[in-house]
Amino acid sequence: MNRTDIGPPDYRDMLPDAIKMNYGKWKYHENVRAGVLKHVSETGDEVYTVRVGSPRLVSIDFIRDICDIADKYCDGHLRFTSRSNIEFITDNKSNVNGIIEEAAKLGLPAGGTGNGISNIIHTQGWIHCHSAATDASGLVKAIMDEMYEYFTSMKLPAYVRIAVACCINMCGAVHCSDLAVVGIHRRPPKVDNEKVLAQCEIPTTIQSCPTGAIRRNPDPNIKSVVVREDLCMYCANCFTVCPAMPLADAEGDGVAIYVGGKVSNARKPPMFSRMVVPFLPNTPPRWTEVVDVLKKIVEIYAGSAKKYERMGEWIERIGWEKFFRLTEIPFTDQHIDDFTHAVETYRTTTQFKW
Amino acid sequence: MDEDTPLLDELEKGPWPSYVKEIKRMAKKNKAAKDLLGIQELSYKDRVTHWKHGGIVGVTGYGSGVIGRYCDVPEKFPDAAAFHTMRVNHPAGWFYSTKSLRKLCDIWEQYGSGMTNMHGSTGDAILLGTTTDNLQPCFDSLTEAGFDLGGSGSALRTIAGCVGQARCEWSNFDTLKLVHDLTMEFQDEIHRPRWPYKFKIKASGCPNDCVAAIARADFTIIGTWRDTLRIDQNAVRNYVDNGFDIKTLVVDKCPSEALEWDEKNKELKLQADDCVRCMHCINKMTKAIRPGVEGGATILIGGKAPIIKGAYLSWVLVPFMKIEPPYDEIKDLLRKIWDWWDENGRTRERLAELIERIGLKNFLKEMGIPPVPQMVYKPRANPYVYF
């Protein structure tokens, strides 16, 4: 008889001793260098954390490799961060360099702390998802190769969070990231009438469309739906409830770029990322056009923002008009919102810049 | 020449660690991983995904935790024709002993492709790619080793939280304990989908919100404090004496102008009533300023990604709540919300969309929560009021 509903392992069984002994007693921390944190407890204890990057999609042998490091230096414990970095925690300062060196031997750089670019949170893409409009793992690899120096240093005005979602389902906080790449479709679904009949519930399919573009097929002999293409904005919600309406297309699919979002409440409240590039084609394996735009935005931000100013705060200060001028990204009619709550983004003041 | 992957080979170049290297590593000893590599190369050539939509597979007694996945060119890649995902509920805070991780690897070596996501966006450890036949024995081995599956589909998704008091001085409540407790309490809701759509809970220990709870959770718990900042004036003077520009970098950046640097008396003055507890001064002067001692959390609701009606950030529901075991206040509130959503929600309608359709005002009435100014940026400007 198998067991069910046992729940996850109890985290208390997973904590290193130094963490257990100082749990809830932490007093302050320091950023020792990129990738190294020092936490000091009320008890006077110190722990050092070495944070290293990871490709996220990893083999079990990779996991065994990092376990070897943790066994040697960290009392047989390690943790992952919410951005898929790996953290080795030790109460022995002299272990820090050893951990960094052994991780480097595996090709894993120390970094991702402080005012830099941490690992990219991303989704599955072509490696495993049925609704992906772009890849994720490869796109992320291409971006991080180019952002590497910002991962291993803390030289930016503030930290920059990058996220990649392979479709607008957005399985991650893409919509509130400093830089976000989002896979998008640009062609309406192709309805397969025979499959609709076999696989889909028609009322649910009709209701799934946010713009009311899906209707019953007017021919009563065809138990299927039709799509009003002028109303469709390619969200793929219908495809999720009805597999007979695929819309993936090599030419139509690609990515959009969003900037300036944040989730932290520090200084300004959390903000949404805003679209700056409506579409770039998928150009595997390196997505050079996408990477170039992101790199350019980061460099202009780095040169223009004030200390501790997040990308969204910087843009609010200089104004979107100046952002588009500095980055030389063309402003098009697609930048003007025409979906829910669009009017909230229309300017209602004479205050603007040239 | 099915091992020929010229496009993917490009992704082995460059300084960032390569996932292609990882798949190739497994491909040497696992046929499914080898076919996965082939499928990925084909997608790079065709510029579309080669995974089919869905497929109903699972383990006995659950409706969640397994994502069915089939390749659309099975004849070319028979060893990855069925390539299902198992979502494994991670220990709170993503802490592991190497012993438990190695056990996970051994199980996945036996039953799956050997490829994993550490971790998925929801928080689970993702075991990527196994056959239908292997699902049940793999699950049995996992539970034997102390691991259970996480949520998927129209269910409560695996709950996630920040590192919290385990290694952070800013956490205003014990995020790990709360996440573990809620996860254990709501096993049925995680494993047996019965709602209009997905429901996510995330907990951050402070307003820095390291797990992005405000953007990603229908039910968002963000630590804060009810009293005032703790300022160590000697430590502040240390910062200033060491050349830290406190005026430009901290005082001028205070969003509510609650701070003032008294140059004459070398003292950082706080107008406590004006402080909005944003964390900036704490973040920048870690040794001198700390959150207050009366910790708790703000409960917010409705965060989500665009589908269907657009993205939302979570809205303030309860400005301050003490977060202490047995967490009855939170559990009661969650059950009340779920019952109401169950009763009123349409298929695939997230909580925020339902609240927008019916009105926050009506939602508050149903929940028995009195309205307070903290819930809005500003009151309405229009005269179209229901009485």
The tens place of each residue's pLDDT in chain A, 354 residues long, gives 578 999 999 999 999 999 999 999 999 999 999 999 999 999 999 999 999 999 999 999 999 999 999 999 999 999 999 999 999 999 999 999 999 999 999 999 999 999 999 999 999 999 999 999 999 999 999 999 999 999 999 999 999 999 999 999 888 668 999 999 999 999 999 999 999 999 999 999 999 999 999 999 999 999 999 999 999 999 999 999 999 999 999 999 999 999 999 999 999 999 999 999 999 999 999 999 999 999 999 999 999 999 999 999 999 999 999 999 999 999 999 999 999 889 999 999 999 998
Judging contacts by C-beta atoms under 8 Å, the chain A residues touching residue B139 are 2
Say which of A8, A60, A270 has its CB closest to residue B89: A8
Q: Look up residue A134 and give its two tokens.
A: 């772009």
**Is B116's CB within 8 Å of A59's CB?**
yes
Chain A residues within 8 A of B8 when measuring between CB atoms:
138, 285
B201-204 and B160-161 strand pairing: parallel
Test the A interface: residue of B9, B16, B354, B356 with most A CBs within 10 Å: B16
CB contact under 8 A, A265 and B278: yes
Q: Quick check: B18 and A130 CB within 8 A?
A: no
Q: CB A14 to CB B118 under 8 A?
A: no
Name residues 25-44 of chain B within 8 A of A (Cβ).
25-26, 33, 36, 40, 43-44
Nearest-angstrom CA–CA distance, B343 and A210: 21
**Closest A-chain CA to B7:** A285
Is the pTM for the entire model greater than 0.90?
A: yes
Residue B56 has pLDDT above 70, yes or no: yes
**Chain B partners within 8 Å of A26 (Cβ):** 165, 167-169
Q: What local confidence, expressed as pLDDT, does residue A340 receive? A: 85
Alpha carbons A216 and B381: distance in angstroms, whole number = 40
Torsion of CA A278, A308, A172, A89, to 10 degrees: 150
- Closest partner residue to A210 (CB to CB) among B69, B211, B308 is B308
Contact criterion met (CB < 8 Å) for B143 and A3: yes
pLDDT of residue B53: 85
Of A9, A63, A267, the CB nearest to B253: A267
Question: B66 in helix, strand or coil?
Answer: strand
Is there a contact between A145 and B15 if contact means CB atoms under 8 Å apart?
yes
Mutation for testing the B interface, residue in A31, A47, A118, A263 having most B CBs under 10 Å: A263
For chain A, say whether B216 makes contact (Cβ under 8 Å): yes
Q: Which of A6, A9, A58 sits opposite B91 (nearest CB)?
A: A9
Nearest-Cα residue of chain A relative to residue B14: A145
The Cα–Cα gap between A200 and A347 comes to 43
Question: By the CB < 8 Å criterion, does B307 face chain A?
Answer: yes
Q: What is the average pLDDT across B29-34?
A: 97
Is 80 exceeded by the pLDDT of residue B55? no
Cβ distance B22 to A62 less than 8 Å, yes or no, reads yes
Cis peptide before A9 (omega within 30 of 0): no
Query: Which tens digit of pLDDT belongs to each residue from B147-168?
Result: 999 999 999 999 999 999 999 9
Contacts of B92 in chain A (CB under 8 A): 8, 11
Spatial contact of A255 and A185, defined as CB atoms under 8 Å apart: no
- Residue B196: the pLDDT is 94
Least CB–CB distance from B191: residue in A5, A67, A145: A5
pLDDT band, very low/low/confident/very high, at B91 (cuts 50, 70, 90)? very high
A237-287 pLDDT tens trace: 999 999 999 999 999 999 999 999 999 999 999 999 999 999 999 999 999
Query: Which strands, in side-by-side order, build the sheet including B66-67?
Result: A57-59, B115-117, B125-130, B84-88, B66-67
How close does chain B come to A98, measured CA to CA in Å?
18
* Residue A202 touches partner B, C-beta closer than 8 Å: no
State residue B1's pLDDT score. 41
A84 touches chain B (CB under 8 A): yes
Judged by a CB distance cut-off of 8 A, whether residue B60 touches chain A is: yes
Q: How far is B191 from chain A (nearest CA, A)?
A: 8
Model confidence band, residue B349 (pLDDT cutoffs 50, 70, 90): very high
Q: How far is CA A165 from CA A133, A136, A176, B131, B230, in A?
A: 9, 7, 12, 26, 40
Q: A169 touching B, CB under 8 A?
A: yes
Please state whether beta strands B201-204 and B219-225 pair in parallel, antiparallel, or not at all (unpaired): parallel
Q: In this complex, do A272 and B311 lie within 8 Å of one another by their Cβ atoms?
A: yes
Of all residues in chain A, the one with the smallest CA distance to B258 is: A267
3-class secondary structure, B349: coil
Any idea what DSSP says for residue A117? Answer: B
**Interface with chain A: mutation pick from B8, B47, B211, B249, highest number of A CBs within 10 Å:** B47
Whole-number Å distance between alpha carbons of B189 and B199: 10
CA distance to partner chain B, nearest, from residue A105 (Å)? 11
At residue B322, what is the residue type?
K
User: Quick check: B378 contacting A, CB < 8 Å?
Assistant: no
* 254-293 of A, contacting B, C-beta below 8 A: 261, 263-268, 270, 272, 282, 284-286
8 Å CB contact of A270 and B214: yes
Portion 114-143 of A in contact with B at CB < 8 A: 121-132, 135, 137-138, 141-142
The ipTM of this complex is 0.96
B123-140 pLDDT per residue, tens: 999 999 999 999 999 999
Chain A: nearest CA to B333, how far in angstroms? 22
Report residue B163 as tokens. Answer: 């590192």
* DSSP SS3 for B7: helix
**Percentage with pLDDT > 90 across chain B:** 96
CB proximity B8 to A under 8 Å:
yes
Of B356, B351, B310, B306, the C-alpha closest to B333 is: B351
Beta bridge partners of A47: A39
Residue of B92, B89, B216 lying closest to B162 (CA atoms): B92
Q: Does B181 touch chain A (CB under 8 A)?
A: no
CB-based contact B25 A4, cutoff 8 Å: no
Which residue type sits at B157?
R
Residue from the list B11, B184, B278 with its beta carbon closest to the beta carbon of A285:
B11
For residues B334, B335, B338, B343, the Cα torsion angle rounded to the nearest 10 degrees is -150
Of A30, A130, A137, the CB nearest to B49: A130
